[in-house]
């Protein structure tokens, strides 16, 4: 079982807090408390995780009183760097929701803080820890059985924002989330996963962002029908506020494309391409990675995460099926390994590194957070160009 090196303070009780908290317990760690602006919400969050743990509404007080070894920063983007730096300054390991920050300067400041403190730091880009990627595809890359990679094609497609009144929360608000509601979220996953698999640096990058819905509608007043459902904009427009997605206040990117070169750790350049959309009908959470090699191709899809499609130049096609997940996660073969499993595997990796200490912690932090800073620099370049309106 995992020892107390994973005594985790959860900061934030939104979507990611509710996903990460149960995984801490699952891998044998302990949630020692939660930080929430709403104490009642914090208490409800701890139900079934650790009802005896305290709730704090003040972050720095929680850092000083919780006894946590790890701080999980799962708040909106604008708070990431500051909260992570404060944790590192107190000698806490940091599990950080992506992106690191809303600016490159703040991301670099966090990187410097965790490096100086000598703590382990992880960026929550969980898909890269799926066994099919971190194990099987990594093995193909390292072994060279298909030759050198010649092209990387990655896409992340969703359709949930095809309704302009879909509840998108704080993500389009630049002051809170930074620039790029789409690029800063889905684009970060694509780039971080690519760097995790191949290492190296991104060069010759160019990207564009596109807007499909120049006006969106945000629910601003509590209002439900008797059956408890939230009325749509068409049913109750008086409950909604109009958002001008082309104004500087909001990020209006509904689609985006990019291309560049990845100078991989092996020392040569590989071209890559990225396509993103949250307005692509029929795609719920369709993150795909296609890697073309000299003697074949490998394809992975997050909607079918337990398989790798492997095509060889001689015409042979193999569907690789995931085996047992390592360690305490223990998902048996034939049982789908999903989103929560990938987060659990991240936490297991962090636990193991903390246990090793010293050089292992330094290498882990340099790789993970170093890659995340590289991603921030690319995202900054991507979101610095004009927003192109399409479809109207």
Q: List, for residues 351-366, the tens digit of each pLDDT value.
A: 999 999 999 999 999 9
Predicted pLDDT at 144? 94
Check: CB of residue 102 under 8 Å from CB of residue 171.
Answer: no
**Maximum alpha-carbon separation in the chain:** 63
Residue 72 in tokens: 């999980």
Checking if the pLDDT of 274 tops 50, the result is yes
Bridge partner residues of 296 (DSSP): 293, 312
Contact 322, 306 (CB under 8 A): yes
- Note the pLDDT of residue 339: 85
Quickly state the pLDDT bin for 2 (edges 50, 70, 90). Answer: very low
Q: Is 112 exposed, middle or buried (0-12, 13-18, 19+ CB in 10 A)?
A: middle
Give the whole-number percent of the chain exceeding pLDDT 70. Answer: 93
Strand partners, 8: 31, 70
Cβ-Cβ contacts under 8 Å for 273 (sequence gap 6 or more): 151, 152, 153, 154, 257, 258, 259
Q: What is the pLDDT of residues 106-152, one digit of tens each?
A: 999 999 999 999 999 999 999 999 889 988 999 999 999 999 999 99
CB 319 within 8 Å of CB 1? no
Q: Let me know: does 3 contact 355? Beta carbons within 8 Å.
A: yes
Predicted local distance difference test score (pLDDT) of residue 166: 87
Residue 3 has pLDDT above 50, yes or no: no
The tokens of 329 are what? Answer: 């996660």
Q: What pLDDT sits at residue 1?
A: 32
Model pLDDT for residues 170-192, shown as the tens digit of each residue: 889 999 999 999 999 999 999 99
Alpha-carbon gap, residue 66 to 79, rounded angstroms: 19
pLDDT at 64: 96
* Mean local confidence (pLDDT), 57-85: 97
| Average pLDDT, rounded, for the chain | 92
Domain 4-126 has CATH 3.40.50.720: yes
- What's the pLDDT tens digit per position in 214-256? 999 987 765 555 566 777 788 888 888 899 999 999 999 999 9
With respect to CATH, is domain 128-389 assigned 3.40.50.300?
A: no
Task: Tally DSSP H helices, then E strands, for the chain.
Answer: 11, 17
Q: Which pLDDT belongs to residue 233?
A: 82
Q: Where in the chain is the domain with CATH 3.40.50.720?
A: 4-126
The pairing of strands 296-301 and 286-293 is: antiparallel
Residues of the chain with CATH 3.30.360.10: 128-389
Alpha carbon separation from 322 to 191, 210, 303, 336 (Å, rounded) = 23, 36, 14, 9
pLDDT band at 28 (very low <50, low <70, confident <90, very high): confident
Residue 8 contacts by C-beta under 8 Å, 6 or more apart in sequence?
24, 29, 30, 31, 32, 68, 69, 70, 71, 72, 95
Does residue 25 have a pLDDT over 60? yes
Nearest-Å Rg of the Cα atoms of the chain is: 21
């Amino acid at each position: 079982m995992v020892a107390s090196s994973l005594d985790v303070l959860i900061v934030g009780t939104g979507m990611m807090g509710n996903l990460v908290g149960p995984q801490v317990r699952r891998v044998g760690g302990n949630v020692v408390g939660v930080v929430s602006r709403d104490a009642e919400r914090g208490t409800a969050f701890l139900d079934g995780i650790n009802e005896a743990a305290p709730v704090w509404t003040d972050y720095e007080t929680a850092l000083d009183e919780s006894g946590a070894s790890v701080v999980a920063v799962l708040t909106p983007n604008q708070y990431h760097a500051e909260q992570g730096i404060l944790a590192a300054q107190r000698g806490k390991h940091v599990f950080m929701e992506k992106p690191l920050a809303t600016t490159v300067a703040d991301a670099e400041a966090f990187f410097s803080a965790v490096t100086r403190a000598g703590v382990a730091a992880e960026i929550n880009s969980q898909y890269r820890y799926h066994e099919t990627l971190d194990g099987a595809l990594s093995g193909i890359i390292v072994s060279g059985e298909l030759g050198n990679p010649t092209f990387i094609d990655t896409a992340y497609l969703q359709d949930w924002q095809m309704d302009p009144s879909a509840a998108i929360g704080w993500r389009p608000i630049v002051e809170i989330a930074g620039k790029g509601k789409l690029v800063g979220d889905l684009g970060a996953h694509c780039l971080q996963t690519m760097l995790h698999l191949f290492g190296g640096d991104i060069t010759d990058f160019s990207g564009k962002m596109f807007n499909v819905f120049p006006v969106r509608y945000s629910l601003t007043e509590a209002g439900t029908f008797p059956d408890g459902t939230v009325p749509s904009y068409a049913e109750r427009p008086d409950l909604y506020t109009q958002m001008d997605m082309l104004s500087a206040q909001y990020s209006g990117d509904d689609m985006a494309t990019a291309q560049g070169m990845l100078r991989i750790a092996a020392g040569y350049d590989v071209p890559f391409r990225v396509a993103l959309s949250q307005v692509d009908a029929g795609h719920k959470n369709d993150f795909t990675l296609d890697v073309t090699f000299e003697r074949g191709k490998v394809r992975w899809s997050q909607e079918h995460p337990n398989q790798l499609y492997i095509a060889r130049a001689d015409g042979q096609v193999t569907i690789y099926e995931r085996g047992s997940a390592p360690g305490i996660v223990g998902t048996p073969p034939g049982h789908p390994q999903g989103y929560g499993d990938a987060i659990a595997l991240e936490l297991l990796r962090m636990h193991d590194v903390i246990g090793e200490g010293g050089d292992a912690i330094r290498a882990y932090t340099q790789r993970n957070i170093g890659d995340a800073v590289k991603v921030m620099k690319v995202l900054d370049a991507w979101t610095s160009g004009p927003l192109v309106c399409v479809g109207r």
